Amino acid sequence: MLARRGGFGRLWSAAAVSRFGDALRGTALPLLAYALTDSPLLISLVTVCGFLPWLFFGLLGGAVADRIDQRRAMWAVDVLRGLLVAGFALAVALGQARIGLLLTLAFALTTLQTLFDNAATALLPSVVPKELLETANARLMTGQELVSRFVGGPLAPALIGLAAALPFAADAVTYLVAAALVASLRIAVPARPRPAAGRTIRREIADGIRALWRDRVLRAFCLSVALGNIGIGALIATLVVIVKGWLGAGDFGYAVVTTGYGAGTVLGGLSAGLVIAATGGRARTLLVAGLLQTAALVSLGTVRALWPAALALGLFGFAGMVWNVLETTVVQQRSPEGMVGRISSAFRTVSVAGTPLGALLGGAVAAALGPNAPALLAAVLLGLGTLALIPAVRTGDSTSSDSGQIPHTVP
C-alpha cells in the first residue's frame, strides 16, 4: 500500500496545493482580463497563451527532464513560478497590471510548466514501486480534481470580491509551499549519465520520438490521444452552446452539467483500480472507457434534456479519468529507462495540438449544422480514437507491466 506519509504523501500534498493555486489563478485571470480590456480577441489570447508553450517547448521540456535531477527541477520551477505570480499580484494591487503583462505571465507560467509536468511524470516511478504506479496516479489525479473543482474554483470569486490581487497572492504562496514539499523528498534518484559527446538536445528528442513510434502500444495510444483530443477540444469550446442552444438551459443548467462532469471525474479516480480489475486488463479497460465516452457524447447530442445531459457528462468524466490514470501509468511503465520525460512530453504535445484544432472544428460545425453537432463530432472522433487502440489489445493486453513488452533500446 502507498504510505500516507513519506515520499508519496509529500508529493501528493504538493500536487494538491499547487492545483488549488492553479484553480484560483485560472478563474481569476479571465475575469481580470475582462476588466482590463473590452476586446474579445485579447481576452481569448489568455487561453491561447496557456496552450502555445506546449507546442513550442513541450518536447524540449521532456528532453531536459530526462537529463536532470527531476526533484530539483520541480522545486526550482515552483520557486520561480511563485516569484513571478507574487510580482504579478503586487502589480495588480498597485493598479499597474495591463493586458500585455497578463498575457506574458500566462505564457511564462505554461512555459515553465512544460518542464515541471514532464519532470513530475518521470519522477513518480522513483517515489513508488512500479506495481503501485496505477494507484499513485489515480490518487494524484483525484486529489487535484477535488481541490480544483470543488475548492479552488468556487473560492476564487470570493477572494476576487475581497481584493483583485488576492487570488494571485494565494497562488504564489501555494507554489512556494509545493516547492518546499518537493524539496523535502528524500528519495534515491537514479544517476543520470552524461550525454555522449556531440549528442544534442535535438537528437535526444528525436530518440524519444523514435522509441515511442517503435512501440506498438505507445504508438496506438498516441494516435488515439491525437484523435480523441480533437473531439474533446470541440466539446470544450462549444459546451456553453450545447447547453444553452441545444438543451435550452440557462446558467443554472450549465452549472449542473459541469458539476456532473466534475463529480464523474472524482468518482472515476476513486474507482479506477476496481474498474481495471473488473474489465480484466489495462488495454481492455481503455477500450471500455473509450466506448463509454463515445456513448456519453452520443447521448449528449441526441437527448434534448438537462438531467440526462448531466448524467452523460458525469459518465464522460468518469471514463475520462480512468483513461488518464491508465495512459500515464502505461507511459511510465513502457518507456525505456531515462526516456519517460521525452515520451510523456510527446503525448502532451499531441494532446495540446489537438485541442485548439478541435475548438475550431467545433465552432464551425455548430454554425453549419446546429448546436448539438459538436457533441456528435466529438463522439465520432473519440470512437475513432478508441478503434485506434485495437493494435494494443491484440498484443494480449500488453499494457500490463511485465507481459509481452516489446524490448526497448536507446539508439
If one compares 20 and 357, the residue with the highest pLDDT of the two is: 20
CA distances 61 to 70, 150, 159, 203, 344, Å, are 11, 30, 33, 14, 10
Lowest-confidence segment of 102-111, 256-265, 296-305, 340-349 by average pLDDT? 340-349
Please enumerate in sequence order all residues whose Cβ is within 8 A of that of 274, keeping only pairs 6 or more positions apart, or say none: none
- Calpha distance 94→169 (Å, rounded): 13
Tell me what pLDDT residue 315 has: 95
Centroid of chain to Cα 74: 17
- Calpha distance 202→242 (Å, rounded): 43
- Tell me whether domains 7-185 and 204-394 share a fold: yes
**b/e map of 77-105 (b: 16 or more CB within 10 Å)?**
bbbbbbebbbebbebbeeeebebeebbeb
Q: Where are the domains of the chain?
A: 7-185, 204-394
Question: Is it the case that residue 407 has pLDDT exceeding 50?
Answer: no
- Calpha distance 156→25 (Å, rounded): 8
Count of residues making up the chain: 411
As a whole number, mean pLDDT of residues 161-179 equals 92
Tell me what pLDDT residue 196 has: 54
Tell me what pLDDT residue 392 has: 67
pLDDT digits (tens, 9 = 90+) for 53-102: 888 887 887 788 777 888 888 899 999 999 999 999 999 999 898 988 98
CA distances 367 to 334, 359, 376, 386, Å, are 42, 12, 14, 27
Work out the burial of residue 183: count CB atoms within 10 Å of its CB; fewer than 13 is exposed, 13-18 middle, 19 or more buried.
middle
Mean pLDDT of the chain: 82
As a whole number, mean pLDDT of residues 136-163 equals 84
If one compares 67 and 395, the residue with the highest pLDDT of the two is: 67
Q: Percent of the chain having pLDDT more than 70? A: 89
Question: Is it the case that residue 23 has pLDDT exceeding 70?
Answer: yes
Query: What crossing angle do the helices spanning 70-93 and 52-67 adopt, rounded to 10°?
Result: 140
Superfamily holding 7-185:
MFS general substrate transporter like domains (1.20.1250.20)
- Calpha distance 366→64 (Å, rounded): 41
Superfamily holding 204-394:
MFS general substrate transporter like domains (1.20.1250.20)
Tell me what pLDDT residue 76 has: 92
Tell me what pLDDT residue 8 has: 83
Please enumerate in sequence order all residues whose Cβ is within 8 A of that of 251, keeping only pairs 6 or more positions apart, or say none: none
- Calpha distance 396→407 (Å, rounded): 16
Question: Is it the case that residue 244 has pLDDT exceeding 80?
Answer: yes
